[in-house]
Copies of this chain bind each other. A is one copy, B any other.
Amino acid sequence: MEQIKKYRKTSKRIPKEERKVQILRSVLPVFAKKGLRGCTTKELAEATGVSEALIYKHFPSKEILFDSIESFCLTTTKANIGILESLEESTESLVRCIYFPMYTVLQNEMVQNEMDDHHLHRMVVHSLLGDGEFADDFLNNTYSIWQDKVEACIEAAREAGDITVPHKSKSIFPWLVQHLVSCYAYKHLPEKKLVDYGIDDTEDLVDEFTLFALRGIGLSQSAIDRYYHPGEFLRLR
Please choose the segment from A48-56, A65-73, A178-186 that sits at the chain B interface, where 4 or more of its residues have CB less than 8 A away: A178-186
User: Assuming the A-B contacts A140-B194, A180-B176, A186-B183, are A208 and B169 also in contact, with contact meaning beta carbons closer than 8 angstroms in the complex?
Assistant: yes
B139 near A207 with CB under 8 A, answer: no
User: Assuming the A-B contacts A38-B37, A129-B189, are A198 and B183 also in contact, with contact meaning beta carbons closer than 8 angstroms in the complex?
Assistant: no
Closest B residue by C-beta to A220: B221
B183 near A171 with CB under 8 A, answer: no
User: Assuming the A-B contacts A186-B128, A216-B216, are A195 and B175 also in contact, with contact meaning beta carbons closer than 8 angstroms in the complex?
Assistant: yes
B189 near A186 with CB under 8 A, answer: no
Please name all residues of chain B whose beta carbon is closer than 8 Å to the beta carbon of A167 when the two chains form the complex. Answer: 208
Query: What does the 1/0 interface line of A112-156 toward B look like (CB < 8 Å)?
Result: 000000000010011111111101100110000000000000000
CA distance A186 to B186 in the complex (A): 10
A215 at the interface (CB under 8 A from B): yes
Which residue in B182, B194, B196 is a CB contact (below 8 Å) of A135?
A: B194
A78 at the interface (CB under 8 A from B): no
Which residue in B38, B180, B195 is a CB contact (below 8 Å) of A139?
A: B195
Which residue in B38, B192, B197 is a CB contact (below 8 Å) of A35?
A: B38
Each complex incorporates copies of this chain amounting to 2
Which residue in B170, B173, B187 is a CB contact (below 8 Å) of A128?
A: B187
Closest B residue by C-beta to A38: B37
User: Assuming the A-B contacts A38-B37, A128-B187, are A171 and B194 also in contact, with contact meaning beta carbons closer than 8 angstroms in the complex?
Assistant: no
A204 at the interface (CB under 8 A from B): yes
A234 at the interface (CB under 8 A from B): no
Closest B residue by C-beta to A212: B216
CA distance A21 to B30 in the complex (A): 35
A166 to chain B, nearest CB (A): 9
CA distance A208 to B218 in the complex (A): 11
